[in-house]
Amino acid sequence: MIGAQISIYPLKEKTVSETLSLFWEELDKRGIKYEINSFSTIVWMEDEELFNFLKEIYNKLKNKKIVIVTTISNACPKIP
C-alpha cells in the first residue's frame, strides 16, 4: 500500500469545482480511500492501482487545461 498526495489545478476555468468533483467521483466509484485538504487529495492504494488510476484520470481530464501534481510515498501512514 502506498500513499499519494494529488493536486489538480484546472487552468482557464471560472471554477475548479467541476473538475475536482469529477476526480472525487472517480475515487468514490472505485472505492478508493481518500482525504481532502485545502490544496490536495490524499489517497491510499496499491502501487499498480495508483499508476493506472492516474493514467485514467488524466485521460478523462486531458480535454481541459490542467496541472496535476503528485507526490508518492511508501512511508505515508495508512488511513484509519
Please check the confidence at residue 14 and state whether its pLDDT lies above 90.
no
Would you state the cell numbers that stand for residue 42, as one nine-digit string? 490524499
Residue 80 has pLDDT above 60, yes or no: no
Q: What is the pLDDT of residue 79?
A: 64
Mean per-residue pLDDT of the chain? 89
Residues 4-29: what's their mean pLDDT? 88
**What is the model's pTM?**
0.85
Residue 27 has pLDDT above 70, yes or no: yes
- Could you tell me which CATH class the domain 2-73 is placed in? alpha beta
Which pLDDT value is given to residue 6?
A: 95
Domain boundaries, the chain: 2-73
